[in-house]
Amino acid sequence: MATSGGKVLDFEEYVRTRQEALLRSARRLVPDPVDAQDLLQTALVRTYGRWDGIADKSLADAYLRRVMINTRTEWWRARKLEEVPTEQLPDASVDDGTEQRADRALLMDILGVLAPKQRSVVVLRHWEQMSTEETAAALGMSTGTVKSTLHRALARLRQELQMRDIDARMLERGEQERERCAA
């Protein structure tokens, strides 16, 4: 497959010996490893056509790096922008996180009704997402104890949430009753 002057064989030998270093250079230019491989392959294809024009083959690395930089710049310029200019700005709703903070505060408050052992099991299993075995090892319990403690703790949390929900509805009814009487 060699052509005049051994162009193909020279180029193949160069790629074989320098491929890893060139791939590292490509990885520095683009964060995704697959994109880096595509960048290197594109640069190699572009360089192959001009291989005979590189008189000093010791500068081939610099030439290829320049081709990779130019190719990456072309890709960046050709990307499709999702922004479209308009006369009117769209209505943007911004979530202020109030509900999330309220839910977190409620959760922290409700966890306070649990015994320390139950609280530890719930936090490790559901917040830290440890397995039953990992939780048992961390707390020095058997897996059966972790399971039964978790079951009782979750039942207690459900009960507490229901009680607070009932209390909130009663409070709301009382406020509605006062408003009706005041009117």
Question: Where are the extended beta strands (E) located within the chain?
Answer: none
pLDDT digits 0-9 by tens, 88-128: 877 777 777 788 888 788 888 888 899 999 999 998 998 88
CATH for the 98-182 domain, from 3.60.9.10, 1.10.10.10, 3.10.20.30, 3.10.20.600:
1.10.10.10
Rounded to two decimals, what is the model's pTM? 0.43
- Indicate the domain borders of the chain: 11-81, 98-182
Mean pLDDT of the chain: 85
Mean pLDDT over 150-178 rounds to: 84
d(CA 47, CA 18): 14
CB burial of 28-52 (b: ≥16 within 10 Å; e: otherwise) equals ebbeeeeebeebbebbbeebeeebe
Is residue 149 scored above 90 in pLDDT? yes
Which amino acid is it at 16? R
d(CA 122, CA 135): 9
Expressed in percent and rounded to 5, the helix, strand and coil fractions of the chain are 75, 0, 25
d(CA 54, CA 62): 11
